[in-house]
């Protein structure tokens, strides 16, 4: 049996998963790759930290030089995350002709070009299946299985934390802040949850996925982004009335060469396959002009699922069945030139929740503003009850398909009405048509 030495940079959550899989599934990996994989070195900050699992002290090192200068190490696994020193370490390792496997979505989405260029120049492989949607092989799916298709749409639930929060709010009728607190206590959400709940994490992932799917370089700032912090229980109750659920959806649509790229809470039919993607599960649905709708579903995070994607990349490198030319330029260069939509230009249906004064004529005033802006209303719901005896009522409007810019202009006018207390929420509705 041939042997290969590899090194891990980082031994956090994902690093632990990789380490565990390489040990517990040693025989599978040997038979499938033809190699016995030896973890020769692991870069850590503190060699003496209590880790809760067994790892030989002698392979831990606090010095990156120990790894970079060991020519017997052929593959470096970057699972530190963040920009620096991950970027610097990977560039250095490639210079020494080491292949790279990374799970680093942030670096790929913001500074990927440099890494792909260096890999090309040095003739090493650079794989990143684990960077999006954990254990789901979506990168491989796009790069290898959708090659016969024009991709028309891509919809993803790619952030487990927000999906867990929305699932709990939906199933248990809890408020956002209560569920967030519970998620933090359970370790499903970080102490600073901004990256997840404000949609940044999904934005990175959509930039990576759509770069690959549409063969054009997409920057993070090309993706419109909204988080889930404005979703209240009452919105979820209305969604239920409409037989819908609310998901933080990453969406991209190719409209004759213009890409409509966005991440925002979205109401979708409760019978759609994405509606049953609950808790920390992720899913990506891709519509190709040949294959139709194709969905990949699985665990989007966690040490073992993410580790599974990292180790499958290691096996791919060992099998040497990656054609660098065909994988990397998709991200590095544009195969196609695309335009990008401004959020005002997109077409969608909208759910709009307002709090208004409970008096005669308000409804007519508001609906005529929407009419003036060419926003056709499908339904207007005013529940009979006042809010806390304060002479306020909730008004929910649902539009037909219209331009978002028109909706926004209408809401600007509505905001100036004396009878308006608050524009509580605007949630896009997706029919997947």
Contacts of 149 (CB under 8 A, 6+ apart): 288, 289, 290, 291
Q: Which of 41, 74, 205, 247 is catalytic?
A: 205
CB-based contact 273:245 (threshold 8 Å): no
CB of residue 161 vs its own copies: minimum separation in angstroms?
17
Find the part of the chain contacting its own copies (CB under 8 A) among 142-150, 226-234, 371-379, 412-420. 142-150
Closest by Cα among 248, 239, 230 to 157: 248
Residues 91, 115: Cα–Cα separation, whole Å: 7
Do 356 and 362 form a contact (C-beta atoms < 8 A)? yes
**For residue 205, what are the β-bridge partners?**
none
Tell whether residue 311 is a contact of its own copies (CB under 8 A).
yes
Angle at which helices 362-372 and 404-415 cross, to 10°: 140
* Nearest-angstrom CA–CA distance, 180 and 177: 5
Q: Quick one: which segment of 110-118, 246-254, 286-294, 340-348 binds its own copies (CB under 8 A)?
A: 286-294
Site string for its own copies, 149-188 (x = CB under 8 A): xx--------------------------------------
Q: Is 403 marked active-site?
A: no
| Cβ-based neighbour number of residue 296 at 10 Å | 18
Would you say 66 or 270 has its CB closer to its own copies?
270
Build a one-symbol-per-residue string for 241-280: x at contacts with its own copies by CB under 8 A, - elsewhere.
------------------------------x-x--xx---
Tokens of 127: 């794989």
Q: Show the binding pattern over residues 19-58: x = contacts its own copies (CB under 8 A), - = does not.
A: --x--xx--xx-xxxx------------------------
At its nearest, how many Å lie between its own copies and the CB of residue 103?
13
**Counting contacts by CB under 8 A, is residue 85 touching its own copies?**
no
**For residue 83, what are its two tokens?**
């920009």
Q: Is 140 in the site for its own copies (CB under 8 A)?
A: yes
Nearer to its own copies, 131 or 203 (CB): 131
Choice from 23, 145, 269, 382 touching its own copies (CB under 8 A): 145
Q: Which residue among 36, 144, 178, 365 contacts its own copies (CB under 8 A)?
A: 144
CB atoms under 10 Å from CB of 94, counted, come to 23
* Residues in 312-331 at the binding interface with its own copies, rule: CB under 8 A: 312, 314-316, 319-323, 325-326
# of chain residues touching its own copies (CB under 8 A): 61
Phi/psi at 420 (nearest 5 deg)?
Answer: -90, 130
**CA distances for 94 relative to 68, 119, 123, 381, angstroms:** 9, 6, 9, 60
Residue 297 is a binding residue for its own copies (CB under 8 A): yes
Q: Give the span between the Cα atoms of 92 and 118, in whole angstroms.
A: 10
Q: Count of CB atoms within 10 A of residue 83's CB?
A: 13
Residues taking part in catalysis: 205
Q: Which residues bind its own copies (CB under 8 A)?
A: 17, 21, 24-25, 28-29, 31-34, 129, 135-137, 140-141, 144-150, 215, 271, 273, 276-277, 288-299, 302, 304-305, 307-312, 314-316, 319-323, 325-326, 335-336
């Amino acid at each position: 049996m041939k042997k290969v030495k590899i090194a891990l940079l980082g031994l956090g959550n994902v690093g632990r998963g990789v380490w565990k899989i390489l040990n517990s599934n040693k025989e599978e990996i040997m038979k499938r790759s033809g190699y016995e994989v030896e973890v020769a070195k692991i870069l850590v900050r503190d060699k003496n930290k209590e880790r809760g699992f067994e790892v030989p002290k002698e392979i831990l090192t606090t010095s990156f030089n120990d790894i970079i200068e060991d020519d017997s190490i052929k593959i470096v696994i970057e699972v530190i995350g963040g920009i620096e020193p991950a970027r610097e370490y990977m560039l250095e390792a490639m210079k020494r002709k080491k292949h790279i496997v990374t799970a680093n979505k942030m670096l790929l989405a913001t500074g990927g070009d440099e890494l792909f260029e260096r890999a090309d120049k040095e003739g090493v492989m650079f794989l990143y299946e684990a960077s999006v949607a954990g254990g789901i092989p979506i990168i491989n799916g796009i790069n290898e299985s959708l090659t016969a298709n024009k991709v028309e749409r891509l919809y993803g639930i790619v952030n487990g934390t927000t999906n867990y929060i929305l699932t709990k709010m939906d199933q248990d009728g809890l408020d956002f802040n209560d569920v967030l607190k519970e998620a933090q206590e359970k370790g499903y959400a970080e102490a600073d949850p901004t990256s997840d709940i404000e949609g940044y994490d999904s934005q990175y992932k959509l930039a990576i996925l759509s770069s690959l799917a549409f063969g054009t370089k997409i920057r993070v700032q090309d993706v419109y982004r909204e988080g889930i912090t404005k979703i209240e229980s009452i919105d979820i109750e209305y969604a239920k009335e409409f037989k819908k659920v609310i998901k933080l959806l990453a969406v991209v649509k190719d409209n004759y060469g213009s890409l409509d790229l966005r991440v925002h809470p979205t109401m979708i039919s409760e019978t759609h396959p994405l509606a049953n993607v609950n808790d920390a599960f992720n899913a990506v649905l891709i519509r190709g002009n040949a294959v139709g709708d194709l969905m990949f579903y699985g665990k989007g995070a966690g040490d073992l699922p993410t580790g599974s994607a990292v180790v499958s990349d290691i096996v791919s490198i060992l099998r040497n069945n990656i054609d660098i030319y065909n994988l990397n330029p998709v991200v590095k260069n544009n195969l196609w030139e695309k335009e990008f939509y401004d959020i005002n230009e997109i077409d969608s249906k909208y759910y709009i929740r307002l709090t208004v004064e409970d008096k005669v004529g308000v409804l007519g005033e508001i609906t005529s503003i929407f009419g003036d802006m060419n926003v056709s209303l499908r339904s207007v719901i005013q529940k009979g009850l006042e809010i806390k005896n304060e002479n306020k009522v909730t008004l929910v409007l649902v539009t037909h398909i219209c331009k978002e810019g028109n909706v926004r202009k209408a809401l600007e006018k509505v905001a100036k009405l004396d009878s308006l207390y608050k524009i509580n929420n605007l949630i896009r509705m997706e029919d997947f048509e």
